[in-house]
A and B are shown apart, each in its own frame.
Chain A
Amino acid sequence: MTEQVTEPAAEPEKRTSAGSGDEPAGELLELATKVASQARAGEQLEVYASRGVEVDVRAYEGEIESLSSATSAGVGVRLVTGGRQGFAYAGSLEEAVLAETLAEARDNATFATPDEHVGLAEPDGVAPASLDLWDESVLSVPTATKVALALELERRVRGVDHRVRQVAYCDYGDMAFESAVASSTGIAASARRTMCSLSVMAIAGEGAHSQTGTGFSAGRGLGSLDPARTAVDAVERATRLLGATKAKSARLVVVLDPRVTSTLLGIVSSALSGEAVTKGRSFFAGRMGEEVAVGALGLVDDPTDARAFGASRYDAEGLACRRNVLIEGGILRGFVFDTVAARRASTSSTGSAVRGGYASTPVAGCRALSLSPGDLDARRIVAEVGEGLYVQSVTGVHSGANPVSGDFSVGAEGLMVRGGDLAEPVREVTIASTLQKMLQSVLHIGGDVEWLPGLAAGQTVAIGNMALSGA
Chain B
Amino acid sequence: MTDTISSGPFLLQASVVERVLGVALEHGADFAEVFAEDRRGTSATLDDGRIEELSSGRDRGAGVQVVVGDTTGYAHTAELSEAGLVAAAEAAAAVAHRGGGGRTVVLEPSDVRRQSEVAVLPESVEKARKIELLLRANEAARSSGSAISQVSAAYGDSRRRIFVANSDGLLVADDQVRSRFVVSCVAVGDTGMQSGFESAAFTVGFELFDVVDVEDIATTAARRALVKLSARPAPSGEVPLVLARGGGGILFHEACGHGLEADHIEKDASVYVGQVGEQVASPLVTLVDDGTMGPEWGSFAIDDEGHAARRNVLIENGVLTDYMWDLQRARRRERFSSGNGRRQNYRHLPMVRMTNTYLVNGESDPDEIVAQTRQGVYVAKLGGGQVNTATGDFVFGTAEAYLIEDGHITEPLRDANLIGNGPEVLRRIDAVGNDFAMGGPGTCGKDGQSVPVGTGQPTLRVTAVTIGGTAGD
Binding site for B on A (CB under 8 A): 1-13, 60-61, 63-74, 85-92, 97, 101, 104, 107-109, 111-113, 115, 165-169, 203, 210-212, 246, 249, 251, 279-281, 283, 359-361, 395-396, 398-400, 402, 404-407, 409-411, 413, 427-434, 467-471
Q: Which residues of B contact A12 (CB under 8 A)?
A: 41, 43, 55, 57, 156, 158
Contact A3 B452 (CB under 8 A): no
User: Which residue of B is nearest A147, CB measured?
Assistant: B95
Residues B234 and A280 in contact, CB atoms below 8 Å apart? no
B234's partner among A71, A108, A399, A409 (CB-CB below 8 A) is A409
- Complex: chain B residue closest to A248, CB-CB: B237
> Which B residue sits closest to A285, measured CB to CB?
B193
Residues from chain B with Cβ under 8 Å of A101 in the complex: 57-58
Which one of A8, A203, A434 has the highest number of Cβ atoms from chain B below 10 Å of its Cβ? A8
Given contacts A72-B347, A86-B54, contact A469 B180 (CB under 8 A): no
- Interface locus among B65-73, B309-317, B426-434: B65-73
Q: Which of B319-327, B359-367, B402-410, B436-444 contacts A (4 or more CB under 8 A)?
A: B436-444
Contacting residues, chain B, for A89 (C-beta < 8 A): 55-58
CB distance from B298 to the nearest CB of A (A): 11
Q: Is the CB of A396 within 8 A of B47?
A: no
CB 8 Å contact bits of B71-92 with A (1 = contact, 0 = none) = 1111111100000000000010
Question: Contacts A359-B57, A405-B414: A66 and B71 contacting too (C-beta < 8 A)?
Answer: yes
Name the one of A65, A115, A169, A396 contacting B384, with C-beta atoms under 8 angstroms. A396
Q: Are B91 and A69 in contact, with the CB atoms below 8 A?
A: yes
Residue pair A249, B236 in contact (C-beta under 8 Å):
yes
Interface string of B193-232 (1 = CB under 8 A from A): 1110101010000000000000000000000000010000
Distance between A213 CB and nearest chain B CB, rounded to angstroms: 10
B253 close to chain A: CB less than 8 A: yes
Taking A108-B56, A471-B238 as contacts, is the C-beta distance between A413 and B197 under 8 angstroms?
no
* A404: chain B residues within 8 A (beta carbon): 186, 193-195
List, in ascending order, chain A residues with CB within 8 A of B50's CB.
112-113, 115
Residue B108 interfacial (CB < 8 Å): no
CA distance A396 to B394 in the complex (A): 8
Partner among A68, A71, A91, A427 whose Cβ is within 8 Å of the Cβ of B58: A91
What is the minimal beta-carbon distance from B62 to any residue of chain A, in angstroms? 11
Bound form: Cα–Cα A362–B437 in Å: 38
Q: Which residues of A contact B396 (CB under 8 A)?
A: 396, 399
What are 18 A-B contacts defined by CB distance under 8 Å? A1-B446, A2-B387, A6-B384, A12-B156, A68-B349, A71-B77, A97-B58, A166-B267, A168-B264, A169-B447, A359-B57, A395-B386, A396-B384, A396-B386, A405-B414, A409-B417, A428-B393, A467-B473
A66 touches B466 (CB 8 A): no
- Cβ–Cβ contact B470 & A410, under 8 A: no
Does chain A have a CB within 8 A of B114? no
Contact of A396 among B264, B271, B395 (CB under 8 A): B395
Q: Does B166 contact A (CB under 8 A)?
A: no
Cα–Cα distance between A429 and B226 once the two chains are bound (Å): 29
Question: Which of chain B's residues have a CB closer than 8 A to the CB of A169?
Answer: 447
How far, in whole Å, are A69 and B66 apart by their CA atoms in the complex?
Answer: 12
Contacts of B77 in A (CB 8 A): 71
The reply to whether A66 and B393 form a contact with Cβ atoms under 8 Å apart is no
B415 and A409 contact, CB distance less than 8 A:
yes
Alpha-carbon gap, A2 to B384, bound state (A): 13
Chain A minimum-CB-distance residue to B135: A113
Across the interface, do A409 and B154 meet the contact criterion of CB distance under 8 Å? no
B8 in the interface (beta carbon within 8 A) = no
Q: Which residues of the other chain, A, contact B41 by a CB distance below 8 angstroms?
A: 12
| B21 contacts A by Cβ under 8 Å | no
Contact across chains for B444 and A5 when beta carbons are under 8 A apart: yes
CB <8 Å contact, B269 and A203:
yes
B4 CB-CB contact with A under 8 Å = no
B268 contacts A428, C-beta separation under 8 Å? no
State which size class the interface on B falls in: 35 or more
Residues of A within 8 A of B47 (CB): 279
Residues on B with beta carbons closer than 8 Å to the beta carbon of A67:
71-74, 95
Q: Find the B residue at minimum CB distance from A211.
A: B391
Q: Is the CB of A13 within 8 A of B450?
A: yes
- B466 adjacent to A3 (CB under 8 Å): no
Give Cα distance in the complex from A402 to B43, angstroms. 25
B144 contacts the other chain (Cβ, under 8 Å)?
no
List of B residues within 8 angstroms of A283 by Cβ: 192-193
Judge whether B344 is part of the interface by a CB distance below 8 angstroms: yes
B114-140, CB under 8 A of A: which get 1 and which 0?
A: 000000000000011001000000000
With an 8 A cutoff between CB atoms, is B419 at the interface?
yes
CA distance A73 to B76 in the complex (A): 12
| Inter-chain contact B267/A467, CB cutoff 8 Å | no
Interface residues of B in 368-412 (CB under 8 A from A): 382-391, 393-397, 399
- When C-beta atoms are compared, the residue in chain B nearest to A404 turns out to be B195
State the Cβ distance, A50 to closest chain B Cβ, in Å: 13
- Closest residue to B389 on the A side, CB-wise? A1
A469 to B195, CA, bound (A): 24
10 smallest CB-CB distances across A and B, nearest first, come from A430-B468, A399-B397, A396-B395, A91-B59, A399-B384, A411-B395, A113-B50, A4-B386, A400-B417, A89-B57
Q: Inside 8 A of A433's CB, which chain B residues have their CB?
A: 470
Residue from A168, A281, A406, A428 within 8 A of B420 (CB atoms): A428
Tell me the bound Cα distance from A70 to B74 in angstroms: 8
Interface flags, B37-68, vs A, CB<8A=1, else 0? 00001011001111111111111110000000
Hey, which chain A residues are within 8 Å of B467, CB to CB? 430, 469
Residue of A nearest to B440 (CB): A7
Is B345 an interface position by the 8 A CB rule?
yes
Q: B6 to chain A: which residues have CB within 8 Å?
A: none
Minimum CB distance partner of B70 in chain A: A63
Say yes or no for B243: interface residue by CB 8 A criterion: no
For the complex, what is the distance from the CA of A349 to the CA of B391, rounded to whole Å? 46
Query: Which residue of chain A has the shortest Cβ distance to B271 in the bound complex?
Result: A210
